[in-house]
């Protein structure tokens, strides 16, 4: 049972209602957004941050792979389900989704980004010089590395939000435990 109130589009502040109406018009009014709408600052901040990262250097497949690796690390049922669907939409197949959850990818540069993301999540950002050197050797530049950190932060936020809330998952469920 959700711990935070899931708002209907007619509830909450006028700013929350406006954002929810826009999301609904795009058929994107998910349970996570209805709950974030309890604070228009949280919902607006999340949407702006995620929108800015979509305009960044990392391609959608890489961002979704990072999301899957971080969500697995944080054991977030909601985000694993969501990013499994979004990952497919970005071009990841079942094997790539499974690999991303384990911190791997077939492409060398994506693999470096996912491995670095997993390390950042596990060490709370306290990675070694060797970790950065490995990422650079695989083709990541400082802008890419900065965006890996930002994607880890964004996904950690949604993972923690959903783990705390325990809300209803909008997507086909996936098992948190993986082998």
Residue pointed to by tokens 């497949």: 61
Q: What is the pLDDT of residues 47-72, one digit of tens each?
A: 999 999 999 999 999 999 999 999 99
Residues of the chain scoring pLDDT < 70: none
Q: Classify domain 60-165 at the CATH topology level.
A: AhpD-like (1.20.1290)
**Selection from 114, 119, 11, 128 nearest residue 66 by Cα:** 114
Q: Which helix (H) or strand (E) holds 108?
A: helix 108-123
Q: How far apart, in whole angstroms, are the C-alpha atoms of residue 159 and residue 99?
A: 19
Domain ranges for the chain: 14-54, 60-165
Report residue 6 as tokens.
């899931």
pLDDT tens digits for range 21-42: 999 999 999 999 999 999 999 9
């Amino acid at each position: 049972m959700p711990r935070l109130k899931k708002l209907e589009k007619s509830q909450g502040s006028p700013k929350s209602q406006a954002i929810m109406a826009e999301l609904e018009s795009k058929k994107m009014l998910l349970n996570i957004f209805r709950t974030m709408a309890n604070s228009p600052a949280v919902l607006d901040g999340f949407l702006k941050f995620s929108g800015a990262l979509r305009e960044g250097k990392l391609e959608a497949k890489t961002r979704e792979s990072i999301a899957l690796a971080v969500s697995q690390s944080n054991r977030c049922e909601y985000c694993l389900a969501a990013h499994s669907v979004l990952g497919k939409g970005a071009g990841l197949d079942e094997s790539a989704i499974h690999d991303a959850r384990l911190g791997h990818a077939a492409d060398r540069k994506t693999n470096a980004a996912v491995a670095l993301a997993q390390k950042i999540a596990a060490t709370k950002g306290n990675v070694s010089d060797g970790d950065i050197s490995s990422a650079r050797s695989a083709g990541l530049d400082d802008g890419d590395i900065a965006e890996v950190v930002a994607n880890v932060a964004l996904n950690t936020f949604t993972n923690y939000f959903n783990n705390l809330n325990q809300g209803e998952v909008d997507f086909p469920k996936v098992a948190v435990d993986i082998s």
